[in-house]
Structure formats: C-alpha cells, structure tokens
Structure 1
Amino acid sequence: MNNSKAKFILKNFIKVLLLLFAVSVAAFALMTASPIDPLKANVGQAALGSMSQEQIAKLEEYWGVGQPPLQRYIAWFRDFVRGDMGISLLYRQKVTTVIAVKLGNSLFLMIIAWILSGLIGFLLGSLAGMNRGKPIDKIIKGYCLVISSTPAFWIAMLLLIIFGVWLKILPIGLSVPIGVEASGVTFFDRVRHAILPAVTLSITGISNIAMHTREKMIDICDSDYVLFAKARGESNWQIFKNHGFRNVLGPAVTLQFASISEIFGGSVLVEQVFSYPGLGQAAVSAGLGSDMPLLMAITIISALFVFGGNFIANILYGVIDPRIRRGGAGR
C-alpha cells in the first residue's frame, strides 16, 4: 500500500513539473509573438524621437529587443532554476521582492474567497440535493445558473456601486486607506478593503461547487442504503451525517482545490476593478509593459498554484478513495 501511494504521488509530481515547463515555454512564446513594442509602450513615441541612436540602443539592450528568443529563454530558464527570477524591468527591483508584496496581497484576498466559496458551495449543494424539487432546491439552482453566466467584473462593479458609492459603508478600492503610512495601517483596515473583492470572488466560485455537490448528493439520496435509512425513520440530518457527508466529501475536495484556477483567473479582473495591488494587477501591468522577467515569474507561480491545487486534490482524493490510486481497479 505504501509503495503504491509513493508511486501515485511521484507520478503526479512529475506531471506537475512537466506541465510547469510546458507553461513556461508557451508563455515565453506568446510574449515573443506579442505585437507590443516595449520601447513605445514604456518610453513613448515622442520621447524616442528625441533620443540619440546610442540611447535607443541602450534601451533596446535593457528591454531585450533584438536578442534571439531561444537565447533569451535559455538564459531565463538557467537563472530561474538557480532561484534567480531576475530584475523587473518596470519596477526596477528584484522580481522576488515585487512578487512577495503582490502575492501577499492576493493571497490574503484569495484565501478568504476560497474558504467562503468552498464552505458555502458545499452547504448549498448538499441542502439542494437533499431537498430535490422543493422550493429551496429551485432557489439554489436558480442562483447558481444566474451567477455562473454572470461575468466577475460585472458583479464587482455592481457591489462597488452599491456598497462603495451608494451606501458608502465599504472602501471603493485599493488594499489600504489612502494617505496612511504603512506603519499606521491596521489589520482591520486590510480586512475592510478586502471585503468587496473577496465577496465578489466568493459569489462567482460558489455556483460550480454547489451544482456538482448537488448532483452527487442526489445520487447518494437515490442509493439503496439511503432509501433503507429513510425507511428506518432517520431524519435528513442523520442521513447527511451518517451517509451523505463522507460520500460527497471526495468530489467536493477535488472541486475545491481545482477551483483555485477559477479564483485566480477571476482575481485578475476583480483586482483591476477595485484597483487592488495584487498579483493579478501586476500580471496585467507586466503584460502591457513587456516586463518579461516579472510576467514569466508570475505565470510560473500562478501555474504552480493551479497545478499544486490539483495535485493536492488528487492526493487527498486518493486517501479518501484508495481505488483512485489503483486506477479504478476493483470497481
């Protein structure tokens, strides 16, 4: 059993490494093919026209213009493997320093949204599945269908208008109050500024988990052992506690960790709406500004979160259901 578990973990770990390498190649190729001129985007056409050829040549060297793509990728990959992510061309700081600040802001936001969407989605899905066809089931289904087809940025703007502009009970943007020194920012200030973006991400992440949990719970409620439990007079709570919770937990765990990609993707748009200085906003700035070292590092870290979430989900699901490790043998 231990040997099969080790092989299962090793296989998934190697898969994650190969996927990260493929993502780095794809991201670099897309940046190379980008029509954005880094000099015009960051210096400006008018400023370039007033510069000498020597100054333009120095700028081209700084932004990597004219260097062979393969040579640039090999140099970046060699440094990245050694732990050197390079210098951000836009921030003129080490990429690790920039990402440490931006990632800290994003993690604070996404962890709150991830926990809320998982718990609420699981509870709503279980409640709907155990009350199939009843009004509460129809309400939850309607909510999920509407939210799943609604863009995250539209929900973000709606919440911003209602709670930030009309009611004026929450800040309309940023991660800290304007004009306050870093030493004067309290934890409560950070929480207040994270409420609207976190709630936006939670709302959009609930529907997928709730609908899948509902379908799984319906299958469980139609099973023979649950029908037998109902015949014995067990209440809905007893059925959920004794039969439903454990059987629906595996798929819910997988979906919860797989939803990391959705939350991160949604955070890019949400951070733009709320001007929240996180990793998503930094990725947009790096892409528009052709900051290759920063964008490549953000891409790898983002992919690591996504693939890492799926990797953990596979491991946990294999622990919950050992048949997964055996590739479904014995089913």
Structure 2
Amino acid sequence: MSTAVDAPEAVSAPSPSRRTAGRTGGRTTGLVVGKLLRLLSLLVATVVGIFVLLSYSPVDPVQAYVGADSAALSAEQKAQIAERWGLDDPPLERFGAWAGNLLQGDWGTSQVYGEPVLDVIGERFMASLALMALAWIFSGVLGFILGLVAGARQGRLTDRVLSWFAYTLASSPTFWVGLLLLYVFAVQLQWAPVCCAGPIGALPGEVSLLERLHHLVLPALTLSVVGVSPVLLHTRHATIEALASDQVSFARSQGEKLPGLVLHRVVRNAAAPALMLQFASVGELFGGAVLAEQVFTYPGLGEATTTAAMRQDVPLLMGISIITAVLIFVGNALGDVAHRAVAPQTKEVGA
C-alpha cells in the first residue's frame, strides 16, 4: 500500500521584471541622494569661500559701503555704520549669524539697495533670465547648425572659415565683443539703443514688450556670439567622427547622399555632446552676462553682482552666489539627463 507524500509548497520567487524594477528604483534613489549631497557640499564650499575672501579683503567695508563720501565722515559716523551692519564683529561670528538667519529663511538685507536680498534678486533675476535664455537658445542652435556644416565640409573652404571664426571668438573677451557691437550697431549705425533695459526715464510698467526686446538685442547677441564657439567646435568633431563610421560608409556604398547622411545618421550622434555641453555652459553664460550687463548698463543680476562685490555688500553677494551655484548645478544635471535621452546607450560611470 503506497503512502502519498505531500509535495512541498512552491515558494514564489519575485519575477525578473520586479527585480529589475527594484534595482532601477534603488539606483535612481541613490543617484538623487548623491546629487543632493553634491549640491549641499557645493553650496557650503561656495558660501564659505566667498565669505572668507570678503572678510580678508584689503578693502575697507565701511569705505566701500559709503563710497566717495567716506572722507567726509567722522570716526563716530563710521563706527555707527559698522555697528549697524555688524562690520565690526569677528568674521566667524558674522558668518554664524548670517548662516543662522539663512536657515530660518531670512536671507538678510542688502547694504547697497536697502532692501531684502530676495527682493533685490527677484527684481533683477527675470531681466537676466530673459537675456541668458535668449542667448543660450541662439548660441546652441546656431553653433549646432554651423558645426554640422563645418564637419560635413571637412577640409574645405567652408570648414576653414567656420573653424577660424570659432577659434577667434573663443579667444575674444566678452566685454571686447560687447564694446565692438555697441560701437557698430548703436553708435555708428544707430540700429540699437546704447544702454538700459528700456527707454531712459520710462518706468518699468510703461515699457512695452517690443521696447524691451529692442534693448535686449545687443546684450543677447554679445553672449550668443561668444557662446557659439564651443558648441560649433564640439559638433564639428562629433560630425567628423560619425561620418567616418562603418555605418555611414555602408550607407555611402548604397548611394545615400551627404545631406541624407547628416540628417539621418549624424544629427543624433552629434546632438548628445552638444546638448550636454550647452547645459554645462550655464556657469560661463552667467559669467559672460556679468560683463555684458556692465557694458550695456543692463539692470540684471550680473550688474547687481558687480555692485555687491565693489561695495562689499556681503548679504547680497552671498545670496546671488547661492542662486548662481544652484543654477549651474541644475544646468549640469539637465545636461546629463538630455545626454541620456538623446544617447540612451550611455551608462552611469560605476553603475
């Protein structure tokens, strides 16, 4: 008589799709946490470095705050100003007070403008954002198209002219390009206004959109011209590499012409490094905007940065530095995301 043996219960194993999703989710969480830690360390290093440089600057903060009238002030008046802004406190104590207020949401008051730091940044951020966004789009599109043309015409007159153009602009200071454009288009041809974000004497609410764009053209063109060079040169290099690949050689043997090769087989490969480079250039774009706004007296964040540095406005300069560091970090992160979207085969290093 046979005895029935109960079969062991089957243990359900997680499906491969669930395991893959779990690993992907864990890797994504790790990447996000890593990015946030990098951002935090970047912000800490930025504010500490700037505060140390300002604290040990040979410039007298009271004299920088008052300006040319400092010679007419008595010692008692200078002491009152130093006490008002805490300039006579030890640097470590001033930094601790500023950091404590920042953690509570108080960014401080601008010494130069006499307004809360966030209000000063907010008023000028939109003007600089319009300037940098227009220049960023124009330089990226133009640099990518010219890079494709130069790479497709490698060694020919078009390639030599565009390469010379790119290398010349890459070695040209932003303020020099701005002064040249200002002299030609504003002074000689009188096609554009000399300065400002609107007609002189007009209130911000009275300036029309067309007038704003008219005053924005030359500063944006200055930043665009300078920003074209790196995108053009990198796209040219990527185009030359793509055209030398076996895939393109096979397509040539099948009778496909150069325009079709560039459009269908080169653009995608060249777009990935161009996008990553363009997003990573946000920091350089802001640095160029500081110089361009000075040349054209454009009231943006760059002009406020220069004023804060020259007048030793520590709260404002620290606030602008934080905003700038975040923008640069976000730009680099978006460049990485865009690169992965265009080139999905790209893997995270160490993943």
User: TM-score of the superposition, structure 2-length normalised?
Assistant: 0.89
CA distance in 2, matches of 1:12, 1:193: 38
Letter in 1 for 2:95: Y
Shift of 1:324: 4.3
CA distance in 2, matches of 1:13, 1:238: 43
Call closer, same or farther: CA 1:324–1:82 in 2, change over 3 Å: farther
Aligned partner of 1:5 among 28, 41, 58: 28
Paired residue total: 328
| Matches for 1:151-300 after TM superposition, within 5 Å | 151-300=173-322
1:85 aligned onto 2:119: no
Letter in 1 for 2:105: G
Indicate the residue corresponding to 1:16 in structure 2: 39
CA distance in 2, matches of 1:78, 1:24: 13
Aligned partner of 1:28 among 25, 47, 51: 51
Call closer, same or farther: CA 1:50–1:15 in 2, change over 3 Å: closer
Letter in 1 for 2:52: A
- Is the contact between residue 213 and residue 248 of structure 1 (CA under 8 Å) also seen in structure 2? yes
CA distance in 1, matches of 2:69, 2:31: 58
Indicate the residue corresponding to 2:63 in structure 1: 40
- Is the contact between residue 276 and residue 335 of structure 2 (CA under 8 Å) also seen in structure 1? yes
Give 1 or 2 for the bigger CA radius of gyration: 2
CA distance in 2, matches of 1:11, 1:178: 48
Shift of 1:81: 2.8
Letter in 2 for 1:257: F
1:97 aligned onto 2:119: yes
Moved more, 264-273 or 3-12: 3-12
Indicate the residue corresponding to 1:61 in structure 2: 83
- Is the contact between residue 65 and residue 111 of structure 2 (CA under 8 Å) also seen in structure 1? no
- Is the contact between residue 48 and residue 56 of structure 1 (CA under 8 Å) also seen in structure 2? no
Indicate the residue corresponding to 1:75 in structure 2: 97
CA distance in 1, matches of 2:248, 2:67: 69
Task: Give 4+ residue runs of structure 1 displaced > 3 Å after superposition.
Answer: 44-50, 318-326
Aligned partner of 1:115 among 122, 125, 137: 137
Shift of 1:74: 1.8
Q: Deviations over 1:203-239 (max 9, x none)?
A: 0000011101111111111110011111111122221
CA distance in 2, matches of 1:236, 1:319: 26
- In structure 1, stretches of 5+ residues that fail to align are none
- Is the contact between residue 5 and residue 325 of structure 1 (CA under 8 Å) also seen in structure 2? no
Secondary structure in structure 1 of the residue aligned to 2:274: helix
RMSD: 1.7
CA distance in 1, matches of 2:95, 2:340: 37
Moved more, 274-283 or 32-41: 32-41
- Is the contact between residue 4 and residue 325 of structure 1 (CA under 8 Å) also seen in structure 2? no
- Is the contact between residue 65 and residue 313 of structure 2 (CA under 8 Å) also seen in structure 1? no
- Is the contact between residue 213 and residue 251 of structure 1 (CA under 8 Å) also seen in structure 2? yes
Shift of 1:323: 5.3
Shift of 1:46: 5.9
Identity of aligned residues (%): 39
| Greater relative contact order structure (CA < 8 Å, 6+ sep) | 1
Call closer, same or farther: CA 1:132–1:59 in 2, change over 3 Å: same
Q: Deviations over 1:41-95 (max 9, x none)?
A: 2325765555362x33321112322212112112212222332211101100011
Q: Deviations over 1:139-172 (max 9, x none)?
A: 1101001111111111101111111111111101
CA distance in 2, matches of 1:312, 1:186: 33
Call closer, same or farther: CA 1:163–1:296 in 2, change over 3 Å: same
CA distance in 1, matches of 2:219, 2:349: 40
Shift of 1:263: 1.0
- Is the contact between residue 231 and residue 277 of structure 2 (CA under 8 Å) also seen in structure 1? yes
Indicate the residue corresponding to 2:11 in structure 1: none
Call closer, same or farther: CA 1:190–1:58 in 2, change over 3 Å: same
